[in-house]
Structure 1
């Protein structure tokens, strides 16, 4: 039985992995990490490590992937397997940073819950951007993280280091998964990671945007079960 640590993305609570916790539980104890302690990737990762098992399989979605790279930098000997879901090893482009700063500025004058819900729904596949179930899940997660949590997470994302140079040094079994319609961290970013990490397996999920664990849970669960049992 392998302990499993799942790391949520920006503005996500444990609910982002609701289906995956249930699917993975037969294969080892599952923990969903908190990303609400710390102001930098280094501080958040250190907090996750402080509360994690001695050795574990690590899976992160989006910002959770950025944190997974930081966890590997801090304690590579503790990570047994790695799964990178809808994420990128690259730092923000200037355009991405400018967009994040613009959203932060809008929180000063707009209702945060409404603003964040609109931003959250835009990450999903175009066919699901009016999905009521996804909207309700997003609203609950936004409320759980809150405005201050969102601000800290966003600043940490903006300041994150480039993880591309370290990809070739990853020596654990690695799954790289991405939605075929992921506009935030597109298929090319996943391919880049899968090619650079020795022996990595790439899974592209059909009809799926950036929120794969919520949009296509069964496909993600199949990939993660294959990863944890392989």
Structure 2
């Protein structure tokens, strides 16, 4: 399987870091990671199938299909990768680690959950989103949902960037396939089988998936550390990129054996 997706890449040396965005976003969400981590690792951020600059899928995609597409991105560039997934991207990353464990050197799961299928109400709400997008259109849909993804104290410029990114990234049918993949997902039984060392992060003001969902992931994985990112909502990697990247680089120093002297002095 080839990865028929658009990616943004930065960095020429070091291990591969694959970045998987949330359900209402795109590779643009990882601008702070592409800019700040590229001196240490090769950063690849995708537009998931059916999102932003990636073509629409020819048939419906399941969570397994999204994970297989991510696996193809890795195989085209390396023998394995460290994988960062935010929200829905974290769910894909976790499934990738169970379906293709040989490809995952380590996991970083941010502001995510074991899937919306853990709760019937959450699953129904997730499935309803495709209809909302069809009714409202991408811009109005983004204006309604985007501000919820950051903390109340987030700068206006960040809120606008989040809304603009969502409006430019989501469309049908890709968003509907993504929403169904989340609605059907309940990864709780498979999390203990993941052997890759993992870092789980969550913004302290995340009201979308919430701290409890991230704690559940961290408490179930076999080899993990759990970090609360202060003054951040659901998009901690964008709202507090300095703190987020510092923890991520510390994780990579251990799991990828990046020499400590190569890291930023702020660490």
Same fold (TM over 0.5): yes
Count of aligned residue pairs for this structure pair:
228
The match for 2:113 is 88
The match for 1:119 is 145
Match of residue 28, structure 2, among 15, 18, 35: 15
Q: Which residues in structure 2 correspond to 1:1-230 (within 5 Å)?
A: 1-36=14-49, 39-52=61-74, 53-92=78-117, 93-128=119-154, 131-160=156-185, 162-230=186-254
Change (3 A) 1:215 1:35: same
Which deviates further from its counterpart, 89-98 or 173-182? 89-98
The match for 2:3 is none
Which deviates further from its counterpart, 66-75 or 188-197? 188-197
RMSD between superposed Cα atoms in Å: 1.8
Structure 1 length-normalised TM = 0.91
Which contiguous aligned blocks of 4+ residues in structure 1 show a shift greater than 3 angstroms?
A: none
Q: Secondary structure at the match of 2:227?
A: strand
Whole-Å separation in 1 of the counterparts to 2:247 and 2:216: 19
The match for 2:9 is none
1 or 2 for the larger relative contact order (CA 8 Å, sep ≥6)? 1
Gaps spanning 5+ residues in structure 1: where? none
Residue 198 of structure 1: CA displacement? 2.4
Change (3 A) 1:197 1:131: same
Whole-Å separation in 2 of the counterparts to 1:90 and 1:151: 15
Deviations 1:32-88 (A, max 9, x none): 133115521111111111121321111100000110111112210111111100001
Whole-Å separation in 2 of the counterparts to 1:199 and 1:49: 22
Q: Which has the higher helix share?
A: 1
Change (3 A) 1:198 1:119: same
Gaps spanning 5+ residues in structure 2: where? 1-13, 51-56, 255-267
Whole-Å separation in 2 of the counterparts to 1:147 and 1:113: 13
Structure 2 length-normalised TM = 0.79
Change (3 A) 1:137 1:195: closer
Which deviates further from its counterpart, 168-177 or 60-69? 168-177
Contact 1:8–1:16 at 8 Å: present in 2 too?
Answer: yes
Change (3 A) 1:108 1:138: closer
Q: Secondary structure at the match of 2:135?
A: coil
Q: Secondary structure at the match of 1:178?
A: strand
